[in-house]
């Protein structure tokens, strides 16, 4: 068995097999959702239960571009840059989740759409927070 070093330590890897770090999985998820949002904002917004309009399409593309940029930057970065990008992404995910929770509390948006988006961003925030805490606990 071999291992490769990730931003948070070695990741075991079977010889010839590819092991994927959880933050890499999140990065690929950002890329996929970002690309879908850019290519078809109407379908993406409808998938999240949000009625499509030109304004929603514009905002969907804005956030799609942001997701695509964060995911791509993370995958292309070295270990030190990945640490910084992971913290940046965590901040974005926490902000998005808090915003979603605010809409859920106010009940001013599509319940289905807000639950889906808030669960998605909350999941990203939870994984990012656990990884950041683990890394911080290992530092002297």
16 domain-assigned = no
Which letter does DSSP use for residue 77 in this model?
Answer: S
Domain presence at residue 72: yes
* Cα(21)–Cα(97) distance, integer angstroms: 23
Work out the average pLDDT over 70-86.
Answer: 95
Whole-prediction pTM: 0.81
Position 13 in a domain: no
- Per-residue pLDDT at 49: 87
**∠ CA 48-51-52, rounded to 5°:** 100
129, 87 contact by CB (below 8 A): no
**Domain contains 3:** no
Q: What is the pLDDT of residues 27-57, one digit of tens each?
A: 999 999 999 999 999 999 999 988 899 999 9
User: What local confidence, expressed as pLDDT, does residue 64 receive?
Assistant: 97
| 10 in any annotated domain | no
How many residues comprise the chain? 140
> Running DSSP on this structure, what letter comes out for residue 109?
S
Instruction: Please report which residue ranges of 48-138 form alpha helices under DSSP H.
Output: 54-76, 79-106, 111-138
Domain count, the chain: 1
- The count of other CB atoms within 10 Å of the CB of residue 45 is 19
pLDDT of residue 20: 64
Reduced to 3 states (helix: H, G, I; strand: E, B; else coil), residue 9 is strand
Residues 81-112 pLDDT 10s: 999 999 999 999 999 999 999 999 999 988 99
Evaluate whether residue 11 is within a structural domain: no
Which percentage of the chain shows pLDDT scores above 70? 85
CA angle 82, 5, 68 (to 5 degrees): 30
- Average predicted confidence (pLDDT) for the chain: 87
Q: Which domain holds residue 131?
A: 21-138
Res. 15 pLDDT band, cuts 50 70 90: very low
In-domain check, residue 8: no
For residue 14, being part of any structural domain is answered with no
pLDDT at 138 over 90: no
pLDDT of residue 1 exceeding 50, the answer is no
Distance, in Å, from the CA atom of 26 to the CA atom of 47, rounded to the nearest integer, reads: 19
């Amino acid at each position: 068995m071999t291992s490769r070093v990730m931003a948070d330590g070695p990741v075991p890897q079977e010889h010839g097999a590819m092991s994927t770090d959880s933050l890499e999985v999140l990065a690929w998820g950002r890329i996929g959702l970002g690309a879908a949002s850019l290519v078809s904002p109407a379908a993406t917004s409808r998938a999240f239960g949000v009625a499509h309009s030109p304004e929603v399409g514009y905002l969907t593309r804005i956030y799609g571009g942001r997701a695509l940029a964060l995911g791509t930057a993370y995958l292309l970065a070295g270990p030190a840059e990945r640490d910084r990008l992971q913290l940046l992404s965590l901040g974005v995910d926490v902000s998005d989740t808090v915003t979603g929770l605010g809409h859920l509390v106010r009940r001013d948006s599509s319940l289905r759409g807000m639950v889906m988006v808030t669960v998605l961003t909350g999941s990203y925030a939870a994984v990012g927070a656990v990884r950041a805490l683990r890394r911080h606990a290992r530092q002297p």
